[in-house]
């Protein structure tokens, strides 16, 4: 986890990053797992193919809704408390997957996991923004987000194979144990950063006024649109890819697990390097370049992938570019508003992103039933291309040493 000029890093930086990394690993893995193991869920609960969309949509919808509530709370009470609450709730929600016996009960526990994910949604990014100087946030975010990549390397392949042999419930119990360990680690080693806290009342009116004030800033509005559209486009590409590979190319569960393993390796190799590159040359050039590369791969997916090895190559390249966007965009995002609004902004973008994911999940199922996976990829590529244009046209490149303008709050009644 080397970084340039390590002497400038805050104390215990690497241990804190590991705690955040472990949270991202477990939380991200349990979300991603449902797509590759859905054929097993379909068999064990007697579901139709279109049932995957609502399962993902309820998760993403709950995550987005709770994120909008948790963001202002974290600005007021501090990131550490939110991190502890979220990891504890997630451990319980994942353990409850052992009780799922039909479609409705599975929907219920996925909604609970989504709600816990909403509490955690922006805490890693906001914490990095609070604790690390701007010139190191690309590197720090890049490393934290490799937790998601490690989930693809180990969590998703292991979960896929365990679900194939022992049923879909067991992998979620494993992630519950890991999340419980994350809670204990965060309780021991993660301090509350010394940053200005919000003094707005924790009320519905205060939260709504805060979000409205931020959205009047064109840069913040552009960031929210980019996040929502990116999640929508990503979901259209990713959700039904394992199902399509099994249905069209006869891929086995082990081959699907290997696909996510390759994607995780790509994330680990690409994410930190892209973050460090953006620390040097700027965030936007890395994000836009990666986005254009993704579009060039996503649009012709069904024409290029005629075999399992070809799917591995395309997925590896696409995941490399996905990872290259994450750290730079998160670093850029944390500099758009003061620290007292950072949690609310991150949660707003995550909430809207998951709303986009919920819409994309539902739309992906409809499109897959009517037009096949080719319809999903064509729609995904189009949306991601428009997203790159919005980012280029409307999102500024923050300058280190120039603090963000304070978000102006208008007086109003407290609800």
User: In the chain, what are the domains?
Assistant: 13-189+204-394 (1.20.1250.20)
Among 172, 168, 164, CA closest to 254: 164
Question: How many alpha carbons lie under 13 Å from residue 94 in its C-beta half-sphere?
Answer: 27
Taking each helix axis from N to C end, the angle separating 218-238 and 308-333, rounded to the nearest 10 degrees, works out to: 160
Class of residue 409 by CB neighbours under 10 A (exposed 0-12, middle 13-18, buried 19+): middle
Cα 145 to Cα 147: distance, rounded to the nearest angstrom: 5
Here the tokens at position 175 are: 């992630």
Residue 413 has pLDDT above 60, yes or no: no
Those residues whose C-beta lies under 8 Å from the C-beta of residue 117, and which sit 6 or more positions away, are 27, 31, 59, 62, 63, 66, 86, 90
Q: Say what the pLDDT of residue 194 is.
A: 65
Q: Is the dihedral of CA 34, 35, 41, 45 positive or negative?
A: positive
Q: Which residue has the tokens 């809704």?
A: 65
Residue 204 and residue 415 in contact, taking contact as beta carbons nearer than 8 Å: yes
User: How far is Cα 95 from Cα 171, in angstroms, rounded to an integer?
Assistant: 10
User: Residue 313 pLDDT more than 90?
Assistant: yes
Cα 209 to its chain centre, rounded Å, is 26
The C-alpha atoms of residue 40 and residue 60 are separated, in whole angstroms, by 21
pLDDT score at 2: 46
Name the average pLDDT for the chain.
Answer: 81
pTM strictly above 0.85: no
- 323-364 residue pLDDT tens: 888 778 877 877 787 766 777 777 778 778 877 887 887 888
DSSP 241-268: HHHHHHHHH---HHHHHHHHHHHHHHHH
Higher pLDDT pick, 35 / 109: 109
pLDDT at 203: 63
Q: Please tell me the least confidently modeled range out of 200-204, 213-217, 225-229, 351-355.
A: 200-204
Distance CA 135, CA 256 (A): 38
Q: What is the distance, to the nearest Å, from the Cα of residue 399 to the centroid of all Cα atoms in its chain?
A: 25
Q: Are 94 and 173 in contact (CB under 8 A)?
A: yes
Phi, psi of 190 (to 5 degrees): -95, 115
Instruction: Specify the pLDDT at position 403.
Output: 45
CB atoms within 10 A of CB 174: 17
Distance, in Å, from the CA atom of 172 to the CA atom of 343, rounded to the nearest integer, reads: 28
Which pairs with CB-CB distance under 8 Å and at least 24 residues apart come from 162-171?
163/33, 163/37, 163/40, 163/41, 163/253, 164/37, 164/40, 164/253, 167/40, 167/44, 168/37, 168/40, 168/41, 168/44, 169/97, 169/98, 169/100, 171/33, 171/37
Q: How far is CA 143 from the centre of its chain?
A: 14
Q: Quick one: average pLDDT of 209-236?
A: 86
- Token pair listed for 37: 């193991």
252-305: pLDDT as tens digits: 878 887 887 888 788 778 877 887 788 888 888 899 999 999 999 999 999 999
């Amino acid at each position: 986890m080397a970084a340039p000029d390590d002497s400038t890093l805050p104390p215990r930086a690497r241990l804190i990053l590991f705690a955040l990394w472990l949270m991202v690993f477990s939380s991200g893995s349990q979300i991603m797992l449902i797509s590759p193991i859905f054929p097993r869920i379909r068999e064990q609960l007697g579901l139709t193919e279109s049932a995957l969309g609502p399962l993902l949509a309820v998760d993403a919808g709950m995550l987005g809704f709770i994120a909008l509530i948790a963001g202002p709370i974290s600005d007021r009470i501090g990131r550490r408390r939110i991190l502890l609450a979220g990891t504890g709730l997630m451990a319980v929600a994942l353990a409850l997957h052992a009780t799922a016996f039909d479609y409705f009960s599975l929907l219920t526990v996925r909604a609970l996991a989504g709600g816990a994910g909403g509490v955690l949604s922006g805490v890693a990014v906001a914490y990095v923004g609070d604790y690390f100087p701007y010139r190191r946030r690309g590197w720090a975010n890049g490393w934290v987000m490799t937790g998601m990549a490690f989930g693809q390397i180990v969590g998703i392949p292991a979960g896929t194979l365990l679900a194939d042999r022992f049923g879909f419930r067991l992998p979620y119990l494993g992630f519950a144990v890991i999340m419980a360990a994350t809670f204990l680690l965060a309780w021991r080693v993660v301090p509350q950063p010394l940053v200005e806290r919000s003094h707005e009342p924790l009320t519905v009116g205060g939260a709504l006024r805060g979000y409205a004030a931020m959205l009047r800033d064109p840069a913040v509005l552009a960031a929210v649109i980019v996040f929502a559209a990116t999640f929508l486009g990503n979901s259209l590409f990713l959700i039904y890819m394992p199902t399509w590979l099994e249905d069209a190319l006869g891929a086995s569960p082990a081959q699907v697990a290997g696909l996510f393993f390759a994607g995780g390796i790509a994330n680990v190799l690409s994410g930190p390097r892209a973050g460090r590159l953006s620390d040097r040359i700027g965030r936007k050039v890395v994000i836009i370049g990666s986005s254009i590369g993704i579009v060039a791969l996503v649009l012709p997916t069904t024409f290029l992938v005629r075999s399992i090895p070809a799917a591995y190559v395309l997925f590896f390249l696409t995941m490399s570019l996905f990872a290259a966007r994450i750290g730079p965009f998160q670093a850029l995002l944390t500099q758009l508003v003061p620290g007292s609004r950072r949690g609310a902004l991150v949660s707003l973008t995550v909430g809207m992103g998951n709303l986009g994911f919920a819409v994309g999940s539902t739309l992906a199922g409809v499109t897959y039933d009517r037009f096949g996976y080719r319809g999903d990829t064509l729609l995904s590529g189009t949306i991601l291309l428009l997203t790159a244009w919005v980012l280029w046209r409307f999102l500024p490149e923050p300058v280190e040493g120039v603090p963000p303008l304070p978000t102006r709050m208008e007086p109003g009644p407290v609800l």
